[in-house]
Structure 1
């Protein structure tokens, strides 16, 4: 079952062969994060990528005012890493924390690099992932600048209805760029 989620995710890119996907799945290790545990903390160097099987994580940084700013929430069936640190091998400036109990499948960076040496398909896959990360970042910026918080909340509710209620108000408000009070008013609009 768990393998099926990863397999479907990798097949959706239409880049890798079935053998390459099988080989990748064999290299994954299972990891369970309890609610509030960290995948990585600021100052550490990220040396792995995770596929999120279940649960959700938040990526946040500490502002100059010592506030936690949640800028990314990761849901199941997606890859997750401290991307800049992963690419540069420099310490990360972010924290990635489990919002709920979370199941991950982990692959180390050096194993990914070995796969890329074995097949150009992996290089193309990594390039595609990098492009998707850029597009998601651009979409997030446009969303924050063009949409109001109600539209941003509605979009999250549409895409992740089963998880959005599990995200603590302060994290969700921070992610949406609004106060908790404003978020409470928005949520009332969507109550049935």
Structure 2
């Protein structure tokens, strides 16, 4: 987490170290939840190692995976964190996952001490917006095959660790369609 935050160039070394005193480790086993729908999110997680997914359950009881987050990234139920309202999403570990957890109240304490924390929050909010826009454009402009190729290029070492049903749901296609795409792309 220290190296990741340092690479952003927003916080001082002292501020990053101070964050370390507020964060604590947590390990999630495969399929364990960070948060479940209808809970209020009160923490942010940095994924040191592992893969997590965000999903909701539709009216037919089907789980729809809409976000997959990999190592060296922050993860939270963002809308619940900022509004204090219950979240409609579930966040679940796809693999055994090592996290650093920071409580929202501690983030507020840090924000009161330095404007750099506000800059960091603004940076993350902007990154979330850009990722959302990228995903929307991908669904509107690209076919499923191209979305899969893009994901393989961005995260080649992780793709094989994601169960087929989650990957297919994330790409907005059936497992059968994903299997055909994989078969077509196999050399």
Report the TM-score, using the length of structure 2 for normalisation: 0.97
**Correspondence 1:57 to 2:43:** no
> What displacement does 1:99 show?
0.6
Partner of residue 3, structure 1? none
Indicate the SS of the match to 1:100: coil
Partner of residue 19, structure 1? 14
Instruction: Determine the C-alpha separation between the residues in 1 that align with 2:172 and 2:7.
Output: 32
Report the TM-score, using the length of structure 1 for normalisation: 0.95
Partner of residue 126, structure 1? 121
Instruction: Determine the C-alpha separation between the residues in 1 that align with 2:144 and 2:77.
Output: 26
Give per-residue Cα distances to partners, 1:164-184, cap 9 Å, x unaligned.
101111100000000100100
Question: Could you tell me which of 35, 44, 53 is aligned with 1:40?
Answer: 35
> What displacement does 1:45 show?
0.4
> What displacement does 1:12 show?
2.1
Q: Which runs of 4+ in 1 moved over 4 A?
A: none
Q: Point out where structure 2 has 5 or more consecutive residues left out of the alignment.
A: none
Over aligned residues, Cα RMSD in angstroms?
Answer: 0.9
1:116-155 aligned at under 5 Å gives the runs 116-155=111-150
Partner of residue 181, structure 1? 176
Indicate the SS of the match to 1:12: helix
Q: Point out where structure 1 has 5 or more consecutive residues left out of the alignment.
A: 1-5
Give per-residue Cα distances to partners, 1:46-68, cap 9 Å, x unaligned.
00000001110110001122211
> What displacement does 1:191 show?
2.3
Give per-residue Cα distances to partners, 1:100-140, cap 9 Å, x unaligned.
11111100000000000000000111011111101111111
Instruction: Determine the C-alpha separation between the residues in 2 that align with 1:7 and 1:93.
Output: 31
Partner of residue 97, structure 2? 102
Indicate the SS of the match to 1:103: strand
**Correspondence 1:112 to 2:112:** no
> What displacement does 1:160 show?
1.2
Instruction: Determine the C-alpha separation between the residues in 2 that align with 1:46 and 1:54.
Output: 21
> What displacement does 1:189 show?
2.5
Partner of residue 165, structure 2? 170
